[in-house]
Structure 1
Amino acid sequence: MTAEQSEVRAPAGRLSMTQGTGMCVGAVLGTGVIALPALAAEAAGPASLLAWLALVLLSAPLAGAFAALGARYPDAGGVSTYARVAFGDRAAAVVGWCFYFAVPPGATAAALFFGDYVSAALGGGRAATAGAAMGLMVAVIAANAVGLRLTGRIQLVLAALLAALLLGSVLLSLPEARLENLTPFAPNGWAAIGSAATLLVWSFAGWEAITHLAGEFRRPERDLPRATAAAVVLIGLLYLSLAFAVITVLGSEAATSRAPLGDLMEHGLGGSAMTLAALVAMLLTFGVINTYFASSANLGAALARDGALPVPLGRGAAAGEVPRRSLTLVAALTLLCLGGVLWADVGPKPLVLMTTGMFVTVYAVGVAAALRLLPSRGAGWWSALVSLVAVVALLLMTGYYLLWPLLVAGAALGYLRLFGGEGARPRAPGGGLPPARRALTRRGRAPASDHEPV
């Protein structure tokens, strides 16, 4: 067997369709559920239910496009790899920077969500929120500094626990639901639905992770699309039922609640439900932030190795090593962001919008790459086209928060122009294209040269 054949015939993964569904659900179901129902209700009132529905419907073609990419080109590089194959190193650098610099505001917002649950359970107001958020952040940084990682099984257990908690909270609180809480339906006007939708992108971030999982399936061309479809249905039902329960059970309190899941649990369970919610929020938030810190630290080292970030940050990029320099930069930026937000007392909402702007930018590049790489007029291609239209609409609704991903993208391109470039990225032995690009080029419609015009 030749080297090129071995590259294409990668060893089969171990994930079944059922296991893959669990992994996809775990990648998407995250910290948004503990706070976003209240933020969306604040933005649009009961009409925020339409924003939830719109994001669920958008998830179907978006997840379908990424699943089609993953099934056709199972490569661990995910969206960054597809961006490089379709559009070159500059697009890949933009995607990488958007992921990397989305972590500080995103982790800060998640920590503040947890802090609000601690404050609601134990009292103490803003000081308790700040202390809990800072303590969680220090714990995550310390865990990553010594190389502590939560295993995939633990992450799946946390996701299953959260799903069971959501379903239980909804079912137990429904006897107290009142349909009159749905009126007035759009107290802030119909345009506010768009504002709520931009906030809710946070809750649906993670569909791009499907592409990273593709190589783990036994038969990705068959099982990955099926697992994705099942995950879309499960997550949609969970989110819609939770949002409906929050609006109809909490009523006007939904828009002002800082711990909506805890308030909902108190209606269903009573007693010390808020303490239980705070504990679940801690486990969930620690797991999510720990994963993102680990991923971003590795990503930063890889970007430095490839010439898209300063070379010293690349130390620790080898398998089994801890990229402490990259981790230090992420930790410093996150602590700076958390300190600034606590000092200004602006809350997590601006951070959510900044982070979702970055996610939507990555989605835009990803679905544009899908249009270039997938067979024209196929199911995946049409899913990508529908997704691109919806993603562009979300970008426009992001408003001036779009300045953050635009600034990051401009900085990435500027850095490549001044300090990086093609020569810094590792090539295949003897020159030519990297192995991932050669394999994708043979199997699909990717351009054979980094310099081929788009």
Structure 2
Amino acid sequence: MLTVKQGAALSVGAVLGTGVIALPGLAAQVAGPAALVAWLVLIVLSAPLALTFAALGARFPDAGGVATYVGRAFGPRAAAVVGWTFYFAVPVGALPAATFGGAYVSAVLGGGHRTTLLTAAALVALVTAANLGGVRLSGRVQLGLAAALVALLLAAIVTALPHADPANLRPFAPHGWRAIGPAIAVLVWGFAGWEALTSLAADYRNPRRDVPRATWIAVGVVGLLYLAVAATSQLVLAEPSTAPLADLLAIGFGPGARALTAVVALLLTAGAMNAYFAGAARLGAALGRDGALPGWFARGSGAGQVPRRSLAVVAGLAAATLAVAAATGLGPRPLMLLTTGSFVVVYVLGTAAAVRLLPRGSWARRTAGFALLSVLGLLALTGWYVLWTALVAAAALAYQRLAPGTPAGRRYRLRSSTMCMAASSAEAAPPSMPTSEPISSFSSSSP
């Protein structure tokens, strides 16, 4: 079973993840120092989102996570859409997450793109092995990763801050204030993850007490670290960098910090992937249990069990995505935006479910309403990348309609069977039968 510390560590790993590796520099390239406003906006918006999912997890602990909540609110078809959207987004998002960490390794060891891809493959294997030991082992691993990560980030901030120069904040908005919007769109990737841990709510010793506590701790740690790294990067580095953490550590510890930077990047990446693989594996097993995926997935869906089949599918799809990227030269950015679009759709449906399920007049429901409005705004910034999610949703609905084990599928087959029986009866009937009713009517009206 998960403790509050382990749950908070999983949350920190899922959300902090790879965002702190590159996003401060990417956002600064879009909006300049005004990107700090974008960071602050997303930190403020992420708190009600996280607390909304925590409130749902505390009241309805289940391995299905957001899919379970949406199913309670809007029915099994909507739950299947959410479940498929999240489940199949994780393997796609694993590649950009892993390559962000792999790029730091290639900067130290050389080998370019080949080293990056090999490191990404090793990360997929590592987090799969960690989750094969069950969520308890995964939580212990994550607790150690989170502690080391926080210590290294604090060291980078503290040692680099003496080199801060307020002149680096001028001009504050070199690309105009409107650039804050695109910067927010870039930074959404760094705040995805609050929904991932809802699938683990049933593994807490006392979900109603422990899930909110773990979430509050994670919200505070993530918000402070993100803002501190972003502000320090902007104050210390004269030019935006795609690897600001490496630059900060180099300033604080000298050129030899490159190897340390690679370690930090790997810790961040492994932590994020570990949390997502754990949540997705749990979700896939729950979807199989509930009929939204084939029943083969259902093994290991109980609390404390290891969903090895579902985990194997997640790992296999991640490996397949990696192989396609290696063969085609596909970069991480399109996959990152596709994954972000999927998560935003999950947020919209999840917060809408919270508005319907949480008690009327409660602060939890008011928080959910604010979170819903916020994620609708993020959806508008997603653009055409949401089309991938539309295709996944269509596949989920088609499976619900046609699969033997689903209620909709059984109704569809019953309806089809009835129509076939009716058609067969019509074909077997004698030619005079269609005219029997008019003839009878005519006869009865005769004198």
The normalised TM-score by structure 2 is: 0.80
Tell whether the 8 Å contact from 2:342 to 2:389 is kept in structure 1 after alignment. yes
Change (3 A) 1:135 1:218: closer
Quote how far apart the aligned CAs of 1:287 are: 4.1
Q: Which residue of 1 aligns with 2:272?
A: 288
Structure 1 counterpart of 2:104: 117
**CA RMSD, Structure 1 to Structure 2 (Å):** 3.0
1:63 to 23, 45, 50: 50
Match of 2:250 in 1: 266
**Structure 2 Cα separation of the partners of residues 43 and 115 of structure 1:** 24
Preserved CA contact (<8 Å) 1:208 1:363: yes
Q: SS in structure 1 opposite 2:49?
A: helix
State whether structure 2 residue 154 is matched by structure 1 residue 167. Answer: yes
Distance 1:333 1:276 in 2: 31
CA distance 1:364–1:113, change in 2 (3 Å): same
Partners of 2:108 and 2:346 in 1: how far apart?
36
C-alpha contact 2:23 2:186 (8 A) present in aligned 1? yes
CA 237–315 in structure 1, closer or farther in 2 if over 3 Å, else same: closer
Are 2:14 and 2:271, in contact at CA under 8 Å, matched by a contact in 1? no
In structure 2, how many angstroms separate the alpha carbons of the residues matched to 1:179 and 1:42? Answer: 18
**Residue 21 of structure 1: how far off its partner (Å):** 4.8
Q: Does 1:391 align with 2:378?
A: no
> Once the 2 structures are TM-superposed, how far is the Cα of residue 129 of structure 1 from its aligned partner?
2.2
* CA gap 1:121/1:241 in 2 versus in 1, 3 angstroms: same
Q: Which residue of 1 aligns with 2:186?
A: 199
Q: Does the Cα contact within 8 Å between 1:117 and 1:278 map onto a contact in 2?
A: yes
Q: Is 1:28 the equivalent of 2:15?
A: yes
Q: In the TM superposition, what is the alpha-carbon distance from 1:109 to its structure 2 partner?
A: 0.7
- CA separation of 1:174/1:365 partners in 2, compared to 1, >3 Å: closer, same or farther? same
Pick closer, same or farther for the CA change 1:220–1:292 going to 2, 3 Å: closer
Q: Tell me the distance in 2 between the aligned counterparts of 1:217 and 1:346.
A: 39
Q: Aligned partners of 1:215, 1:382: CA distance in 2, in Å?
A: 24
- Identify if the C-alpha distance between structure 1 residues 181 and 388 changes in structure 2 by more than 3 Å, giving closer, same or farther: same
Distance 1:21 1:292 in 2: 14
- Structure 1 window deviating more from structure 2 (285-294 vs 377-386): it is 285-294
Deviating more after overlay: 235-244 vs 284-293: 284-293
| CA deviation map 1:166-217 (0-9, x unaligned) | 1111111011222222234334443332222223222222322454555566
Would you say the 8 A contact 1:144–1:294 is kept in 2?
no
Match of 2:442 in 1: none
Instruction: Map 1:37-436; keep pairs closer than 5 Å.
Output: 37-140=24-127, 143=129, 150-209=137-196, 211-212=198-199, 214=201, 224-254=211-241, 257=242, 259-314=243-298, 320=305, 323-324=308-309, 326-419=310-403, 422-423=406-407
Superposed displacement of residue 312, structure 1: 4.5
Figure out how many residues of one structure are paired with residues of the other and give that number.
407
* SS in structure 1 of the partner of residue 291 of structure 2: coil
Contact 1:44 1:196 (C-alpha < 8 Å) held by counterparts: yes
Cα distance in 2 for partners of 1:357, 1:95 equals: 13
Is the contact made by 1:89 and 1:422 (CA closer than 8 Å) also made in structure 2? no
| Per-residue deviation, 1:348 | 2.0
Partner Cα separation in structure 2 for residue 305 and residue 71 of structure 1: 21
With over 3 angstroms needed to count, the CA separation of the structure-2 counterparts of 1:71 and 1:147, relative to structure 1, is closer
Q: How far is the alpha carbon of 1:299 from its aligned partner?
A: 3.0
CA shift at 1:67, angstroms? 2.6
Question: Structure 1 or 2: larger helix share?
Answer: 2
Aligned position for 2:421: none
The question of whether the paired residues in 1 share the 8 Å contact of 2:10 and 2:275 is answered with no
2:63 and 2:120 map into 1 onto residues whose CA distance is 32
**Counterpart amino acid of residue 355 in structure 2:** L
Write out per-residue CA displacement over residues 263-304 of structure 1, whole angstroms, 9 at most, x where no aligned residue.
Answer: 211111114211012123224423432443354344334323
TM-score, with structure 1 as normaliser: 0.79
Structure 2 distance, partners of 1:250, 1:164, is 21
Give the AA of the match of 1:236: G
Which amino acid is 2:190 matched to?
A: S
Unmatched 5+ stretches in structure 2: 410-447
Mark the runs of 5 or more structure 1 residues left unpaired by the alignment: 1-12, 426-454
- Checking the alignment, whether the CA contact within 8 Å between 1:144 and 1:290 is kept in structure 2 is yes
Identity of paired residues, percent?
Answer: 55
SS in 2 for 1:398: helix
2:92 partner amino acid:
P
